[in-house]
């Protein structure tokens, strides 16, 4: 998703890195989607070329336009019934109702908007043809990477897993320090923060007991790099997925990016941040049945760790509201914080989480 000012600054820093550093996809990076050659859908002689666009390593919060070519490889005309993205992170050019003669081609424009958190992002455009069951798929994927890359880009605490290790590696090879992990001193294998010089790679340990109870959705790592002060890792657990926010179905919205990175803020200072909420109504197939879902009334910090003041709330495309707000840490607070901020609209309230490090 999809964005806050701090993450955009991180993204800009990443884009400013040497092109060779960004272009070099790490070994073993997972791939998804169809093979690299044209693949007609069974029963539909419509070919997508290429079937997969892999954007490689990209900056968080960035957008990536591309073009697919759809070709009628059959002997009879084909009419496109619908081109439907698999998620709202993808925009497509309208081609519904277009008819292709045998051998004729048409271009399909698509733009993938990647989130502000690291990891592999994939999306598909599902294309249906009149009179033919099933769909043809145009796939996209990107590896969202901060200037410090994390592998894996999440904490895997599923199915009783209670501990693990993630590897942090500087994309440009510059040494750095890990300052904290989840608000605690980092546990780094084979490294003494007092006596050892900074490195460009670390193996960082985590344990479920240190993550908190109940488990948060995110584990935030702080580094001393100015272009990468925070690294958010999603915590994968049975309680941090769809069960984490059951109220989203009754208030008809959710936060597609539930974490907001504020970076470092001086004590007594204020950060201007951005987030968004997205309409949700699966029982009505996405129709708006309560227009008050988008009427943002205000924000507050229920735990008192700071204050949140609404700056603006701008509807976008009928399905999103982009929110700007000012966050001020409470007096006397210092160090890394993970603060719930409550957003209230005319249909109910829900939380996003601000990750901030308060400096003297």
Q: Domain containing 56: what range?
A: 33-144
Q: Which residue has the tokens 């009783």?
A: 160
Answer yes or no: is 23 within a domain.
Answer: no
Regarding whether 166 and 101 lie in a shared domain, the answer is no
* Residue 320: C-alpha distances to residues 79, 228, 289 (Å): 31, 28, 15
Regarding whether 152 and 119 lie in a shared domain, the answer is no
Residue 21 pLDDT greater than 50, yes or no: no
Regarding whether 105 and 80 lie in a shared domain, the answer is yes
Q: Considering 214, 242, 270, which residue would you say is the last residue of a domain?
A: 242
Q: What is the pLDDT of residues 241-280, one digit of tens each?
A: 989 999 999 999 999 999 999 999 999 999 999 999 999 9
The whole-number pLDDT of residue 159 equals 92
The whole-number pLDDT of residue 242 equals 87
The whole-number pLDDT of residue 231 equals 96
Buried b (16+ CB within 10 A) or exposed e, 39-56: bebeebbbbbebbbbbbe
Residue 41 pLDDT greater than 60, yes or no: no
Answer yes or no: is 197 within a domain.
Answer: yes
Regarding whether 184 and 111 lie in a shared domain, the answer is no
Q: What is the pLDDT of residues 84-120, one digit of tens each?
A: 998 888 889 999 999 999 999 999 999 999 988 888 9
Regarding whether 161 and 264 lie in a shared domain, the answer is no
The whole-number pLDDT of residue 150 equals 94
Q: Considering 193, 212, 242, which residue would you say is the last residue of a domain?
A: 242
How buried is 116 (Cβ within 10 angstroms: 0-12 exposed, 13-18 middle, 19+ buried)?
buried
Regarding whether 249 and 226 lie in a shared domain, the answer is no
Domain count for the chain, please give it.
3
The domain that holds 108 is classified in CATH as 2.60.40.10
For 2, the token pair is 């999809």
Residue 18 pLDDT greater than 90, yes or no: no
Regarding whether 105 and 58 lie in a shared domain, the answer is yes
Answer yes or no: is 3 within a domain.
Answer: no
Regarding whether 134 and 169 lie in a shared domain, the answer is no
pLDDT mean over 329-335: 95
What percentage of the chain reaches a pLDDT higher than 90? 79
Among the ranges given (24-28, 210-214, 355-359), the one the predictor scored with the smallest mean pLDDT: 24-28
The whole-number pLDDT of residue 103 equals 95
Q: Considering 223, 242, 261, which residue would you say is the last residue of a domain?
A: 242
């Amino acid at each position: 998703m999809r964005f806050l000012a701090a993450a955009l600054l991180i993204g800009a820093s990443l884009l400013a890195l040497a092109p060779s550093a960004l272009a070099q996809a790490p070994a073993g990076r997972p791939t998804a989607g169809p093979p690299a050659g044209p693949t007609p859908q069974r029963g539909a002689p419509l070919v997508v070329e290429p079937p997969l666009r892999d954007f490689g390593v990209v900056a968080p919060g960035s957008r990536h336009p591309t073009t697919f070519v759809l070709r009628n490889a059959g002997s009879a005309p084909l009419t496109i019934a619908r081109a439907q993205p698999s998620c709202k992170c993808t925009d497509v050019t309208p081609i519904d109702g277009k008819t292709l003669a045998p051998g004729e081609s048409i271009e399909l424009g698509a733009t993938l908007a990647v989130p502000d958190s690291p990891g592999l992002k994939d999306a598909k455009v599902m294309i249906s043809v009149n009179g033919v069951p099933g769909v043809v798929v145009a796939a996209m994927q990107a590896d969202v990477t901060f200037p410090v890359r994390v592998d894996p880009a999440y904490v895997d605490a599923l199915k009783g897993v209670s501990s693990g290790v993630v590897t942090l590696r500087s994309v440009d090879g510059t040494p750095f320090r890990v300052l904290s992990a989840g608000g605690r001193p980092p546990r780094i294998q084979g490294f003494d923060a007092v006596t050892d010089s900074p490195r460009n790679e670390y193996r960082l340990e985590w344990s479920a007991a240190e993550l908190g109870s109940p488990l948060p959705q995110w584990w935030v790592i702080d580094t001393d790099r100015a272009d990468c002060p925070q690294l958010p890792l999603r915590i994968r657990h049975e309680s941090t997925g769809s069960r984490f926010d059951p109220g989203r179905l009754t208030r008809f919205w959710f936060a597609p990016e539930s974490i907001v990175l504020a970076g470092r803020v001086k004590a007594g200072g204020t950060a201007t941040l951005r987030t968004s909420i997205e309409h949700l109504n699966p029982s009505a197939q996405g129709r708006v049945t309560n227009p008050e879902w988008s009427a943002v009334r205000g924000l507050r910090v229920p735990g008192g760790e700071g204050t949140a003041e609404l700056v603006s709330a701008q509807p976008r495309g009928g399905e999103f509201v982009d929110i700007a707000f000012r966050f001020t840490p409470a007096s006397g607070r210092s160090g890394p914080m993970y603060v719930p901020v409550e957003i209230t609209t005319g249909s109910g309230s829900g939380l996003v989480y601000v990750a901030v490090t308060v400096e003297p």
